[in-house]
Amino acid sequence: MRNLMRVVGMVNMPLMVDLALHNGVASMTGKQVGTETGDPRGFGSFEDLWQAYQRQMEFIAPRMNAMTHIAKEVDEERFRLPTWSILAPGCMEKGRDYLAGGQWSYKLWDWKDRGHVDAADSLLAVKKLVFDDKKLSMAELLEALDTNFSGKSGEAARQMCLAAPKYGNGIMEADLMVKKSGKTMAQVISTYRNPMGGPYSINRHGISWHYYGGKGLGALPNGRKAGEPLSDGSLSPMKGADRNGVTAVLRSAITAQCKESRAAVLNQRFPASLMQTTESLEKLADLTQTFLTSGGSHIQYNILDGKVLADAKKNPEKYKDLIVRVAGYSAYWVHLTPEIQDDIIARTEQGV
């Protein structure tokens, strides 16, 4: 058994937007967790907001790096994995535990920067609504966010945010914003070295982080309310935002993916009727092949009717053998939390 990867930490990219819009303060907790980048009401252009966003990345990166080095020391001193140490090459030969340097040097030390879609959609919404079209002032937008879009004016602002251009629709500006966000964070990370002296790698697979990553996060300019899940995977569109069909989603994913990262997961859901004809199956095969040969790296499907999923949530005893794809892994439906079940149900049901 050879493990060539070690996961060392996660960065919540939408939180970086939240911090940039609140002078380094996390809106959900009121704590100063980022660096002071100024009152956004004084920003004269979108570039000012982008610079604040990037400065939050630059602030968090050295702290993540320090935590990684500390974690390695703690692992070596406090934790032991005897079974892994028996199976992993190098440990028996060296007479050292797996976590104490027994295994041959890790080839990859992964940082996970997640939520670029939500971050990019939020940044583009501010660009369009505040700076380009001037439909909202920065003060009005912040008021709506800080009150979680409550009241008549808050809901009106939210509808504007939801209507702003979104990734997943083949809109070049939105797709390139996701790419720019990902490449910028990759560049920031590239200046640091892992405990073995090599560069960090970037792994963006989602698992179920999008739910937990959203729990402690305030409202965002993409229209997402405080505490709600983020977009699943790492290249999946915001729930309900992909309105132009599956080919538009795939075009967006190919455009947005950056070569500096691995495991960029895209989730899609299709109805069960897709499996009923050879023609439909061939279309799905062609779609998948085109995506992968055009630069896509990872796509996964749930082929289930929404009404089946809704009934499975209502009557779980009838669906004990139902397996669904979450985000990088499969699981029995009945083993998932109600919140993750709702998240899967809410995914757009595509056609081919």
Residues 164 and 313 in one domain: no
Of 199, 234, 264, the last residue of a domain is 264
Residues 279 and 137 grouped into a single domain:
no
Strand spans (E) along the chain: 5-12, 108-114, 201-203, 261-262, 266-270, 299-303, 323-325, 330-332
Output the pLDDT for position 7. 64
Domain ends where: 225, 241, 264?
A: 264
CA distance 128 to 171: 14
Q: What is the pTM of this model?
A: 0.90
The pLDDT, as a whole number, for residue 1 is 46
User: For residue range 133-149, what is the model confidence (pLDDT) as tens digits?
Assistant: 999 999 999 999 999 99
Please give the Cα distance from 163 to 172 (Å, whole number). Answer: 16
If asked whether residues 40 and 135 sit together in one domain, one would say yes
What is the span of the domain harbouring residue 103? 5-264
257, 274: one domain: no
pLDDT over 80 (residue 226): yes
- Of 241, 264, 287, at which residue does a domain stop? 264
Are residues 259 and 275 part of one domain? no
Number of domains comprising the chain: 2
Task: Give the model's pLDDT for residue 43.
Answer: 98
Per-residue pLDDT reduced to its tens digit, 19-37 = 999 999 999 999 999 999 9
Q: Percent of the chain, pLDDT > 70?
A: 95
Roughly what angle, to the nearest 10 degrees, separates helices 13-20 and 116-126?
30
pLDDT of residue 206: 66
User: pLDDT at position 155, please?
Assistant: 98
For residues 338 and 204, state if they share a domain: no
pLDDT for 107 beyond 70: no
Identify the weakest region by mean pLDDT among 108-117, 167-176, 314-323: 108-117
The verdict on 291 and 150 lying in the same domain is: no
Domain identity same for 258 and 280: no
Q: Do 260 and 202 form a contact (C-beta atoms < 8 A)?
A: yes
Residues 6 and 11: their CA atoms lie apart, in Å, by 16
Reading the block at residue 303, the tokens are: 């082929």
> Residue 326: pLDDT above 50?
yes
